[in-house]
Amino acid sequence: MTRYWLVKQEPTSYNWTKFEREGETEWDGVHNALALRYVREMAVGDLAIFYHSGDERSCVGVLRVVRGPRADPNDPRGSWSVKVRPVRPLRRPVSIAEIRSDPGFSGFELLRFSRLSVMPVSSEHWKRILRLSDEDPGSDNRVVTAGRRGPARTTAPRRPAGAARRTR
């Protein structure tokens, strides 16, 4: 069973573009006890959102765990690491402001433990991030749906007021 995660990195030290160029990296340097526990729970095949922290604060890509956790023999503080590969960039970054303003993210670990560098993501929150990334904020993304009881209705996706599109 695939599990979902979010991994954070300051883009000035390591960003999605560099990760894609390298094609694979060791996700290491985690020292927080809870984040380390999550790293040790990761398994081959799991997927994670790559989140740019710092000034960007946006979800920017999807990566896959390709080697399970192992202790880092070069870190005297006792960290663990996993090997990851990029899957794809998100169509557009999903900002923390969008996530905060969306009631569908109630209970999301990123909002509860904002400084944690590795955290689990529920399948509902995972799907919601991907759906937000696929929406183009400059167009009318209305979706026509037919309910089980009644005629088709048109709905517009929820967008936070004044949400800006970030570019890399």
State pLDDT tens for residues 73-126.
Answer: 888 898 999 999 999 999 999 999 999 999 999 999 999 988 899 999 999 999
Q: Mean of the pLDDT values across residues 26-49? A: 96
Residue with more model confidence, 1 or 82: 82
**From the centroid of its chain, how far is CA 153?**
31
CB proximity list for 93: less than 8 A, separation 6 or greater: 52, 56, 58, 59, 60, 133, 165, 166, 167, 168
Name the pTM for this structure: 0.79
Residue 148 has pLDDT above 50, yes or no: no
Sheet with 47-52: strands ordered across = 25-27, 80-95, 58-71, 47-52, 4-9, 118-121
Instruction: State the pLDDT confidence band at 160, using cuts at 50, 70 and 90.
Output: very low
Residue position matching structure tokens 């089980």: 148
Instruction: State the pLDDT confidence band at 164, using cuts at 50, 70 and 90.
Output: very low
pLDDT score at 88? 97
Residue 147 has pLDDT above 50, yes or no: no
Neighbour count for residue 66 (Cβ, 10 Å): 13
pLDDT score at 137? 61
Q: Which domains does the chain have, with CATH numbers?
A: 4-155 (3.10.590.10)
